[in-house]
């Protein structure tokens, strides 16, 4: 039977979903591929202060590369770099013509990526495409008469194209790899094949590229096709790859260089016979070396490395292995520049780390020379030309920007501080120093003190930067976090941070940001888990259910994983749980997330109500679990890939606040998370007290109508649309703002009867650029109410979860990759136990 609570949720979700569509949209939404956060960082060019995508001049005396959204050239042996472009967009992926007169490149204008042609002598730029698609990786043919490139035009997929350039326009455009669907099943990649990373053979007869035709995992093999007969595709090398292979053939045609992580956690340079054979590694290190290009004489290889954290440009002697960094210490800009010092201070005038954004009148972003630039994964087309970018400052930063401009500067420091924005005036533009004072929100003393943390961060996840605990701590300080859980996890066959796993020293008192090592258990079939406080060992393998591998079986299921974690005194949380389309207006036929099973078994210690998902959808499922009498506290984690230049972030975007205790230890953090003495948020600070009790506490009342007193507060840099007290999933009080919607202290009375739970939540109808998430949302963990020993059992919630379990049981029963019958039976046993729990709720309800 469907109850009023669930009917209300469905209507509410349809309203909210309609409001959100079209306002905050993913960067380059014309790319119709799944898991855009991966290809956006690992394949699409990104704005960074360091160099990227080097190429040689035909005489081998200069390099051209992208840096800070412009193209630069630099002579070998010199430390002076000359800016070549400074247009309305961001410029990437240069490729020098064989005659040295022109450079192909890709320009991102905030809506598409178009191919451009630069005349080296005059500086004149000519648009080659204007198709509104994403056009990438342009490469000249050896004779300079044609180009190869990748484009999404017409399909939304990365396909290989060839064209000629005549009178400043592309002509004779040919799709070399037409759209094609593979029969093999994929999860992280589209069913449609892609073709990326083109490189010409020296004689111009063939094009080398990466193809995932009938490949299940990774971006594909190194293959080649005949230019005159594109259907003739030859596989040269079979290997799991991940977007950054970029093979390049030596000038003599005998061998290729490419970037690979074969059997390792980091990308390094390898060489391979051009016709295929056994690969040989030629660089080593626990960092990434990528984007290799042969010099015209075949003696050297230019490449990009992140060994210092940021990207840097290097040259490798291909015979003797000497590596020389190409340093650009003297930059010559096309237009006059001005430098200003940006200081961020607290109300006492002391420097404080912060997140800073500097934009000129064109909407273009500027950062210090060596700062890590991070970009939002979405933008607001109605109000922004480009997605938001930022860098983390120690409190003082030197930034260069066009001298005639008066930029706007924004500084933030997490939810505890008000956002400060300064649009420089003409007189301020003359100043050498700009100081922004960040003011901390004050909250009522009766609510006590808090520690804030992000339960879901990936320090390194194959991104453009190389992160370390020191840098991650600096990122956390700028966002005003007290602790971070680095959830170590695989990306394809790599686990980049595996060497950082150490068991926690739970009783050690810390005075600085605490970087704690955890794990994300990565089984997409059952739903991803956050594993905190692993006191003995990291679980390997860290996933099941990968087709065509020795881990194709879906055993061990998450219930078994939870048992293994609890044996280590760890916590288990379900992370980035749900999107509204998975649940409403009806459950998705492919939804196999095991949360209802593990919740019924008592395996779930926390739940990411605020995370990489739709918060209202996640909360709806949480409310129904609570209405079945299952006590699960709220958790929060950003799922921030902290070494990405384009990420869901920053770290701490989604965070949990736990009640502070006398000593700042990881044991106390774990204790407060587990007991739900917490609230979670992506923007607002809030808390609730009922009859003097706070989140995680239990109030006992008589078995009759009872009036409870409550106190609450909220503080938010973004105006709040809704502030509500929730009883058993329904709104029982809504605060009516008058004037300022950023701050409120309020109290009142609530009439309740029977067992249940209370919480305070705040949310907005629409997204907001200052909070790079689907929409602002915050909630406390529940305050529980018991009444004469009665249990809370919801009929409608039980129906919802029994439908869910029926679907899982059917799929589990038909799964064909079990290694033994015992594996299947153990899963079905736990499903049966969970089913009995919800059947009891259904047959003995205390609420509808």
Same domain, 249 and 365: no
Q: Is the pLDDT of residue 500 over 80?
A: yes
Confirm whether 398 is domain-assigned: yes
For 276-296, write each residue's pLDDT tens digit: 999 999 999 999 999 999 999
Q: What is the pLDDT of residue 131?
A: 98
The residue from 437, 454, 471 where one domain ends is 437
User: Both 788 and 801 in a single domain?
Assistant: no
- Per-residue pLDDT for 20 more than 60? no
Phi then psi for 477, rounded to 5 degrees? Answer: -65, -40
Question: Span 628-632, mean pLDDT?
Answer: 99
pLDDT in tens, 800-843: 999 999 999 999 999 999 999 999 999 999 999 999 999 999 99
The pLDDT of residue 168? 87
One domain, residues 407 and 474? no
Domain residue limits at 654 = 4-24+443-796
Contacts of 81 (CB under 8 A, 6+ apart): 67, 72, 73, 74, 328, 330, 331, 332
Across 18-32, 201-215, 732-746, least confident range: 18-32
Residues 601 and 750 in one domain: yes
Question: Which CATH number belongs to the domain containing residue 42 in this structure?
Answer: 2.120.10.30
CA distance 520 to 504: 16
User: Rounded to whole angstroms, how far apart are CA atoms 201 and 300?
Assistant: 18
The alpha carbon dihedral of 579, 585, 590, 596 has a sign of positive
Residue 739: the pLDDT is 86
Q: Are residues 371 and 230 in the same domain?
A: no
pLDDT (average), residues 324-352: 98
Sign of the CA dihedral with 600 first, then 604, 606, and 608 last: negative
Confidence of residue 1 (pLDDT cuts 50, 70, 90): very low
In percent, the amount of the chain with pLDDT more than 70 equals 97
CATH number of the domain within which 714 lies? 3.20.20.140
pLDDT of residue 22: 40
Q: Is the pLDDT of residue 21 over 70?
A: no
The pLDDT of 735-756, averaged and rounded, is: 94
Question: What's the gap between Cα 203 and its chain centre?
Answer: 41
Residue 646 near residue 377 (C-beta atoms within 8 A):
yes
Quick: pLDDT tens for 39-70: 999 999 999 999 999 999 999 999 999 999 99
In a domain, 717, yes or no: yes
Beta-carbon-side half-sphere exposure of residue 614 (alpha carbons within 13 Å): 19
d(CA 87, CA 519) in angstroms, rounded, equals 44
Nearest to 777 by CA among 672, 655, 604: 655
Specify the pLDDT at position 430. Answer: 66
Nearest to 603 by CA among 555, 558, 542: 558
The per-residue pLDDT for range 767-810, each reduced to its tens digit, is 999 999 999 999 999 999 999 888 899 999 999 999 999 999 99
* Residue 745 domain flag: yes
What average pLDDT does the segment 108-116 reach? 99
Shared domain for 621 and 692, answered yes or no, is yes
**pLDDT per residue over 563-578, tens digit each?**
999 999 999 999 999 9
Kindly state whether residue 258 falls inside one of the protein's structural domains: yes
List pLDDT tens digits, range 95-107.
999 999 999 999 9
- Quote the number of domains for the chain: 4
In a domain, 274, yes or no: yes
pLDDT digits (tens, 9 = 90+) for 678-688: 999 999 999 99
Res 572: pLDDT: 99
Q: What is the pLDDT of residue 819?
A: 98
For every residue of 217-229, DSSP letters joined together read SSS-EEEEEESS-
Would 62 be classed as within a structural domain? yes
- We report the CATH number of the domain holding residue 384 as 2.60.40
pLDDT digits (tens, 9 = 90+) for 226-258: 999 999 999 999 999 999 999 999 999 999 999
Which secondary-structure segment (H or E) carries 116?
strand 113-119
Q: Is the pLDDT of residue 304 over 70?
A: yes
Q: Across all residues in the chain, what is the average pLDDT?
A: 96
Whether the per-residue pLDDT at 8 is higher than 60: the answer is no
- What would the mean pLDDT of 323-330 be, rounded to a whole number? 99
Examine the pLDDT at 119 and tell me if it is beyond 80: yes
Residue 427 has a pLDDT of 73
- Structure-token match 């258990």, residue found: 521
Q: Is the pLDDT of residue 6 over 80?
A: no
Q: Is 185 helix (H, G, I), strand (E, B) or coil?
A: coil
Note whether 172 and 306 are same-domain residues.
yes
Query: Among 407, 437, 467, which residue terminates a domain?
Result: 437
Kindly state whether residues 413 and 469 are assigned to the same domain.
no
Helical packing angle, 615-626 and 795-814, nearest 10°:
110
The confidence band for 3, taking pLDDT boundaries of 50, 70 and 90, is very low
Q: How deeply is 31 buried, as exposed, middle or buried, from its count of CB atoms within 10 A (0-12, 13-18, 19+)?
A: buried
Q: What is the band of 467 on the pLDDT scale with cuts at 50, 70, 90?
A: very high
The answer to whether residues 144 and 221 belong to one domain is yes
DSSP string, 723-772: EEEEETTEEEEE----S-SSEEEEEEEEEE-SSEEEEEEEE-SS-BTTB-
State whether 190 and 111 are in the same domain: yes
Q: Which of 332, 348, 383 is the last residue of a domain?
A: 332
Q: Which of 19-28, 179-188, 503-512, 622-631 has the lowest mean pLDDT?
A: 19-28
Task: Return the structure tokens found at 665.
Answer: 């230890």
Based on the fold, state whether residues 801 and 675 are members of the same structural domain.
no
Say yes or no: 697 and 670 in one domain. yes
Q: Could you write out the three-class secondary structure of 763-796? A: ECCCCECCECCCCCEEEECCEEEEECCCCCCEHH
For the segment 454-471, the average pLDDT, to the nearest whole number, is: 99
Per-residue confidence band for 702, with pLDDT thresholds at 50, 70 and 90: very high
- Classify residue 848: in a domain, yes or no: no
pLDDT reported for residue 429: 62
Give one DSSP letter per residue of 474-490, joined into a string.
HHHHHTT-SEEEEEE--
């Amino acid at each position: 039977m469907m109850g009023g609570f669930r009917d209300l949720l469905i209507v509410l979700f349809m309203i909210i979903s309609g409001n959100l569509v079209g306002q905050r949209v993913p960067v380059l939404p014309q790319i119709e591929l799944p898991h855009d956060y991966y290809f956006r960082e690992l394949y699409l060019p990104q704005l960074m202060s360091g160099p990227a995508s080097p190429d040689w001049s035909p005489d081998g005396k200069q390099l051209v590369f992208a840096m800070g959204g412009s193209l630069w050239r630099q002579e070998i042996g010199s430390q002076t770099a000359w800016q070549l472009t400074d247009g309305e967009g961001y410029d990437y992926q240069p490729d020098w013509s064989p005659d040295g007169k022109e450079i192909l490149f890709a320009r991102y204008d905030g809506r598409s990526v178009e191919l451009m042609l630069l005349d080296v002598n005059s500086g004149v730029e000519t648009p080659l495409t204007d198709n509104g698609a994403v056009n990438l990786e342009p490469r000249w043919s050896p004779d300079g008469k044609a180009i190869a490139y990748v484009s999404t035009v017409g399909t939304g997929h990365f396909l290989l194209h060839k064209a000629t350039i005549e009178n400043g326009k592309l002509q004779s455009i040919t799709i070399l790899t037409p759209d094609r669907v593979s029969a093999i099943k994929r999860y992280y990649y589209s069913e449609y094949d892609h073709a990326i990373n083109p490189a010409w053979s020296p004689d111009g007869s063939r094009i080398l590229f990466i193809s995932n035709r009938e490949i299940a995992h990774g971006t594909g093999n190194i293959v080649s096709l005949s230019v005159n007969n594109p259907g003739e595709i030859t596989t040269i090398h079979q290997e799991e790859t991940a977007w950054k292979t970029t093979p390049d053939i030596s000038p003599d045609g005998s061998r290729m260089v490419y970037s690979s992580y074969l059997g390792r956690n980091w990308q390094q340079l390898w060489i391979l016979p051009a016709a295929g054979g056994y690969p040989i590694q030629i660089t080593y290190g626990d960092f990434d070396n990528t984007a290799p290009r042969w010099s015209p004489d075949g003696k050297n290889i230019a490449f990009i490395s992140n060994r210092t954290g940021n990207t840097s440009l290097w040259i490798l002697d291909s015979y003797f292995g000497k590596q020389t960094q190409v340093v650009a210490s003297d930059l010559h800009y096309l237009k006059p520049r001005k430098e200003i010092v940006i200081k961020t201070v607290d109300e006492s005038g002391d420097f404080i780390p912060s997140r800073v954004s500097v934009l000129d009148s064109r909407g273009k972003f500027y950062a210090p020379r060596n700062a890590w630039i991070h970009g939002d994964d979405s933008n607001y087309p109605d109000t922004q030309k480009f997605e938001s970018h930022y860098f983390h400052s120690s409190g003082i930063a030197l930034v260069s920007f066009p001298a005639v401009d008066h930029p706007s500067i924004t500084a933030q420091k997490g939810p505890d501080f008000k956002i400060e924005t300064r649009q420089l005036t003409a007189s301020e533009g003359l100043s050498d120093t700009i100081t922004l004072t960040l003011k901390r929100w004050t909250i009522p003393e009766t609510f006590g003190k808090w520690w804030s943390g992000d339960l879901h961060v990936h320090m390194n996840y194959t991104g453009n930067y190389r992160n370390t605990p020191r840098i991650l701590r600096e990122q956390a300080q700028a966002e005003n976090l007290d602790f971070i859980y680095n959830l170590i996890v695989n990306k394809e066959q790599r686990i980049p941070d595996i060497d950082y796993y150490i068991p926690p020293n739970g009783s050690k008192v810390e005075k600085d940001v605490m970087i704690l090592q955890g794990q994300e258990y990565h089984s997409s079939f059952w739903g991803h888990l956050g594993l905190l406080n692993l006191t003995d060992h990291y679980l390997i393998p860290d996933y099941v259910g990968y087709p065509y591998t020795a881990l194709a079986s879906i055993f061990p299921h998450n219930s078994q994983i939870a048992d293994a974690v609890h044996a280590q005194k760890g916590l288990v949380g379900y992370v980035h749980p749900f999107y509204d389309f998975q649940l409403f207006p009806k459950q998705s036929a492919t939804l196999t997330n095991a949360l209802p099973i593990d919740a019924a078994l008592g395996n779930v210690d926390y739940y990411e109500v605020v995370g990489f998902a739709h918060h209202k959808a996640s909360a709806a499922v949480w409310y129904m679990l609570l209405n079945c009498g299952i006590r699960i506290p709220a958790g929060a984690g950003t799922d921030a890939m902290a070494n990405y230049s384009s990420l869901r972030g920053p770290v701490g975007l989604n965070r949990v606040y736990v009640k502070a205790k006398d000593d700042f230890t990881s044991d106390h953090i774990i204790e407060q998370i587990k007991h739900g003495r917490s609230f979670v948020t992506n923007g607002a600070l809030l808390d609730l007290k009922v009859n003097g009790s706070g989140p995680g506490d239990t109030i006992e009342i008589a078995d009759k109508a009872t009036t409870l007193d409550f106190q609450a507060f909220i503080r938010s840099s973004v105006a709040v649309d809704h502030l509500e007290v929730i009883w058993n999933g329904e709104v029982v009080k809504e605060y009516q703002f008058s004037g300022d919607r950023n701050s409120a202290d309020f109290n009142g009375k609530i009439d309740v009867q029977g067992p249940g739970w209370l919480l305070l939540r705040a949310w907005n109808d629409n997204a907001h650029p200052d909070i790079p998430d689907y929409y602002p949302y915050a909630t406390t963990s529940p305050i529980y109410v018991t009444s004469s020993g009665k249990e809370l059992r919801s009929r409608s919630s039980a129906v919802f979860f029994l439908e869910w379990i029926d679907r899982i049981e059917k799929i589990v029963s038909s799964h064909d990759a079990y290694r033994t019958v015992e594996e299947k039976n153990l899963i079905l046993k736990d499903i049966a136990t969970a089913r009995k729990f919800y059947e009891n709720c259904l047959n003995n309800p205390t609420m509808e």
